[in-house]
């Protein structure tokens, strides 16, 4: 019996908005403290023998890296967005890797894979930016920033205004094979951070970075399918998925089947740029070999696995 047969493979995705919280300054102490809280229940799963691949978002963090580049542009040449993506993948990967190391102390090896994801430069996303990054602004600040910096800003799920950047769909995860083989050996792999670094494939096959931010939910769904995970756990800053979210009659979803969630998706309950990609990823995962998707907040994982919290979506 291989390691793979004994222990089910689970992809766990940590939301960028769970690592830097709205209204916080985003200091490294705050980020480490959220990372510890996010991974404490994941460490419990690893102790029980689950093989885990962790993906994570980078929205607030990559937005801050871009702002830092702009603020220093007269002294140090500003870096393109794809390098900011790579920086965020390394920095956040390091935080999660060290936090898990400290929580597990030798129970498992943990490694971060800087992951490149091939996108199609003809993707309509390049002319229609939808992915919120960086801090939240007031409506007045948004108008000023739009005018002075030429940014596009949108209202993000009742939380304030944010800059949006192009977010193409992931086509292929370049490092999928190494992620899969490491996880088969029992290594805890952190991969596709921030959705991975978007790259284009040039004629002849070389890769080149592209200025965009892939929604980590789409890359997570693709990775989960490519490595044949059975369960996908999506941890975000809301306790479950709601219908009519933010409206007076909002209703939480507990246990839903694939066909039901498809129907709610078609009724526009899940906006692009936030809950929409999580639901699309869930649907695509369950249409393949995936068996179960859980969407909840990090502190509710164990309850959600017992059916006592969160939203559970199954193919049957
Ligand atoms: P993450 O960093 O985890 O990807 P996002 O901000 O992209 O977080 O997505 C989670 C957010 O989606 C929630 O905090 C909530 O504000 C928003 N949201 C939008 N629609 C819904 C919905 N139908 N149910 C729950 N949350 C929703
Ligand atoms: Mg998101």
70: domain CATH number? 3.40.1160.10
Of 91, 160, 216, 221, which residue is the catalytic one? 216
pLDDT tens for each residue of 105-127: 989 999 999 999 999 999 899 99
**Mean of per-residue pLDDT scores for the chain:** 93
Nearest CA to ligand 1 atom 3: 15
Other CB atoms within a 10 A radius of the CB of residue 45 amount to 17
Nearest CA to ligand 1 atom 19: 275
Q: 165 CA to middle of ligand 2, Å?
A: 13
Q: Does the Cβ of 218 fall within 6 Å of ligand 1?
A: no
Instruction: Please indicate, yes or no, if residue 51 is contained in any of the structural domains.
Output: yes
| Burial class, 127, CB count within 10 angstroms (exposed 0-12 / middle 13-18 / buried 19+) | exposed
Q: 228 CA to middle of ligand 1, Å?
A: 26
Instruction: Please indicate, yes or no, if residue 225 is contained in any of the structural domains.
Output: yes
More confident residue, 8 or 191: 191
Ligand closest to 14 (CA) is 1
In contact, 199 and 222? CB cutoff 8 Å: no
Residue 152 is among the residues annotated as catalytic for this protein: no
Instruction: Please indicate, yes or no, if residue 105 is contained in any of the structural domains.
Output: yes
Instruction: Please indicate, yes or no, if residue 159 is contained in any of the structural domains.
Output: no
pLDDT category at 44 given cuts 50, 70, 90 is very high
Instruction: Please indicate, yes or no, if residue 153 is contained in any of the structural domains.
Output: no
Segment 136-147 mean pLDDT: 94
Domain residues for the domain of 55 are: 4-120+177-314
pLDDT category at 5 given cuts 50, 70, 90 is low
Residue 30 has pLDDT above 90, yes or no: yes
Q: How many structural domains are present in the chain?
A: 1
Nearest CA to ligand 1 atom 10: 274
Ligand 1, residue 14: give the atom nearest the CA. Answer: 3
- Name the least confident of 60-69, 88-97, 110-119, 229-238: 60-69
Q: Structure pTM?
A: 0.92
Instruction: Please indicate, yes or no, if residue 295 is contained in any of the structural domains.
Output: yes
pLDDT for position 158: 87
pLDDT for position 6: 65
Q: How far apart are CA 8 and CA 6, in angstroms?
A: 7
Q: Cα 298 to chain center, whole Å?
A: 13
Could you tell me which residues come within 8 angstroms of residue 31 by beta carbon, excluding any fewer than 6 positions away?
19, 20, 61, 95
φ, ψ of residue 178 to 5 degrees: the values are -70, -35
Residue 20 has pLDDT above 70, yes or no: yes
Ligand 1, residue 240: give the atom nearest the CA. Answer: 25
Q: In a 3-state reduction of DSSP, which class is residue 239? A: coil
Ligand 1, residue 60: give the atom nearest the CA. Answer: 2
pLDDT for position 124: 93
Segment 172-200 mean pLDDT: 96
Other CB atoms within a 10 A radius of the CB of residue 17 amount to 21
Residue 246 is among the residues annotated as catalytic for this protein: no
131: β partners: 165
Nearest CA to ligand 1 atom 18: 275
42: β partners: none
Q: Does the Cβ of 242 fall within 6 Å of ligand 1?
A: yes
Q: 34 CA to middle of ligand 1, Å?
A: 17
Please give the structure tokens belonging to residue 185.
């050996």
Q: Does the Cβ of 57 fall within 6 Å of ligand 1?
A: yes
Please, what is the Cα angle at 274 between 273 and 275, to 5 degrees? 125
Instruction: Please indicate, yes or no, if residue 126 is contained in any of the structural domains.
Output: no
Q: Does the Cβ of 237 fall within 6 Å of ligand 1?
A: yes
Q: Does the Cβ of 269 fall within 6 Å of ligand 1?
A: yes
Instruction: Please indicate, yes or no, if residue 194 is contained in any of the structural domains.
Output: yes
pLDDT category at 1 given cuts 50, 70, 90 is very low
pLDDT for position 52: 96
Percent of the chain with pLDDT over 90: 81
Q: Does the Cβ of 13 fall within 6 Å of ligand 1?
A: no
Residue 29 has pLDDT above 80, yes or no: yes
């Amino acid at each position: 019996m291989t390691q793979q047969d004994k222990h089910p493979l689970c992809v766990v995705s940590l939301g960028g908005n769970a690592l830097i919280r709205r209204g916080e300054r985003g200091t490294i102490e705050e980020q480490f403290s959220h990372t510890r809280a996010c991974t404490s229940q994941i460490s419990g799963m690893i102790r029980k023998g689950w093989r885990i691949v962790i993906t994570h978002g980078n929205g607030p963090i990559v937005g801050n890296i871009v702002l830092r580049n702009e603020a220093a542009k007269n002294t140090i040449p500003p870096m393109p967005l794809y390098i900011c993506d790579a920086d965020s993948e390394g920095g956040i990967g390091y935080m999660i890797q060290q936090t898990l190391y400290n929580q597990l102390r030798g129970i498992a090896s943990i490694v971060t894979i800087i992951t490149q994801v091939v996108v199609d430069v003809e993707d309509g996303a390049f002319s229609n930016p939808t992915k919120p990054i960086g801090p939240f602004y007031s409506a007045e600040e948004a108008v000023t920033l739009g005018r002075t910096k030429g940014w596009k800003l949108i209202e993000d799920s009742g939380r304030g205004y944010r800059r949006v950047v192009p977010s193409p769909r992931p086509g292929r995860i370049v490092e999928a094979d190494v992620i899969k083989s490491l996880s088969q050996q029992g290594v805890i792999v952190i991969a596709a951070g921030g959705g991975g670094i978007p790259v284009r494939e040039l004629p002849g096959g070389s890769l080149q970075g592209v200025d965009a931010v892939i929604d980590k939910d789409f890359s997570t769904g693709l990775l989960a399918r490519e490595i044949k995970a059975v369960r996908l756990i999506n941890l975000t800053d809301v306790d479950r998925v709601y219908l009519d979210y933010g409206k007076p009659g909002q209703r939480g979803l507990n246990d839903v089947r694939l066909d039901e969630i498809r129907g709610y998706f078609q009724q526009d309950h899940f906006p692009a740029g936030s809950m929409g990609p999580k639901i699309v990823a869930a649907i695509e995962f369950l249409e393949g070999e995936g068996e179960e998707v859980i969407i909840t907040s990090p502190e509710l994982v164990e309850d959600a696995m017992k059916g006592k919290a969160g939203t559970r979506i199954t193919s049957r």
